[in-house]
Amino acid sequence: MENFAPLTGLIGGILIGISISILLFFNGRITGISGIMSALLSPKDGEWLWRFIYLCSMIVGVIAYSQIAPPTFAPSSSYPKLLLIIGGILVGFGTRLGNGCTSGHGICGISRRSSRSFVATSVFMLAGAITVLVIRHVAHLTS
Amino acid sequence: MKQLFITAIAGFIFGIGLSVSQMIDPNRVLNFLDVTGNWDPTLLFTMAGALLVTLFSFRIILKTSKPLLANKFRLPSRSDIDYKLITGAALFGVGWGMTGYCPGPAVASLGLGSINSIIIVLSIASGFLLHKWFFKD
């Protein structure tokens, strides 16, 4: 349990919750990042710009925060690239097939009490945990 | 125009939230998923923090007839649990466990300028295109 940071974890989560609430209250939109991201690849009438602005603002938020409080973790460039590429493709394919990711299903869906999102969130959490178990403790691909 | 301003504010706060919680650190995510190893429950607090706000706010917001700046709420309408939902969530979970990145933190981490962020975003985009090609939609 080294590096356990419940307070910043909680505050970060509250900020994410506030951000999601703002988008719903003002614009009537669900914050589903995989949906926002993938829609950028198939531009539709007037739906493209807000998604682009959203993602850019998110990146700007990260840059702004890193100026105030430089990240305490080092980006690990040593992580196996093949894992990153295959895993990334699975994230993209899976979130489209399952219609959502951590934000859309895990937060927005559960907050709407959607049974689909409860199921999806349980499944991807479990699959994630099993995958880390296999990679770290069975196959010893990473430490 | 007002809507786009709100969009920018919301995205910015989301980015700050991902930074503060350190969800943009893939190791933090992998340690959270590593329940049988040296488990780091930090992100459980992040999820709880977000849900604490949204479980409450969604209930109030969705009672109003329409959003402040738009004509209607755009909400998913499906409630069926099919093989695509389960398979998709499972594949996403495997990818998440392989990389430590889900879509939000992947894009957001571009702001930290590491090569891995670029690789993961391009890989996720390839997955989107693969799905599009596979299902021809």
Rounded to the nearest integer, the mean pLDDT of chain A is 93
Domain parsing of chain A, residue ranges = 6-138
Q: pLDDT at residue A105 above 90?
A: yes
- Contact list, A116 vs chain B (CB under 8 Å): 76, 78-81, 85
Task: Give the closest-approach CA distance of A106 to chain B in angstroms.
Answer: 8
pLDDT recorded at residue A1: 53
Of B15, B22, B74, the CB nearest to A8: B22
CB contact at 8 A, B6 and A23 = yes
Distance between CA A51 and CA A92 in Å, rounded? 17
- Closest-CA residue of B relative to A17 is B50
Of B15, B48, B50, the CB nearest to A62: B15
| Angle at CA of residue B9, ends B6 and B10, nearest 5° | 85
A41-81, pLDDT tens digit by residue?
Answer: 887 767 899 999 999 999 999 999 999 998 888 777 789 99
**Is A64 exposed, middle or buried, given 0-12, 13-18 or 19+ CB atoms closer than 10 A?**
middle
- Contact list, A102 vs chain B (CB under 8 Å): 96, 102-104
Cβ distance B130 to A97 less than 8 Å, yes or no, reads no
Cβ distance A87 to B96 less than 8 Å, yes or no, reads yes
Q: What is the pTM of this model?
A: 0.96
B98-121, pLDDT tens digit by residue?
Answer: 999 999 999 999 999 889 999 999
Helix, coil or strand: residue B71: coil
Mutate to test the interface with A, among B14, B68, B110, B120 (most CBs of A within 10 A): B14
Cβ distance A127 to B94 less than 8 Å, yes or no, reads yes
Q: pLDDT at residue A109 above 90?
A: yes
- H helix runs in A1-143, sequence order: 6-27, 33-39, 48-68, 81-97, 110-111, 115-132
B23-70, pLDDT tens digit by residue?
Answer: 999 999 999 999 999 899 999 999 999 999 999 999 999 999 999 999
Distance between CA B127 and CA B29 in Å, rounded? 21
The pair phi, psi for residue A29, each rounded to 5°, is -110, 145
Higher confidence at residue A11 or residue A73? A11
- Contact list, A20 vs chain B (CB under 8 Å): 10, 14, 50, 53-54
B5 reaches A (C-beta below 8 A): no
CB contact at 8 A, B106 and B118 = no
* Domain interval for residue B105: 2-135
pLDDT recorded at residue A78: 85
Higher confidence at residue A123 or residue A45? A123
Cβ distance A9 to B44 less than 8 Å, yes or no, reads yes
Number of domains in chain B: 1
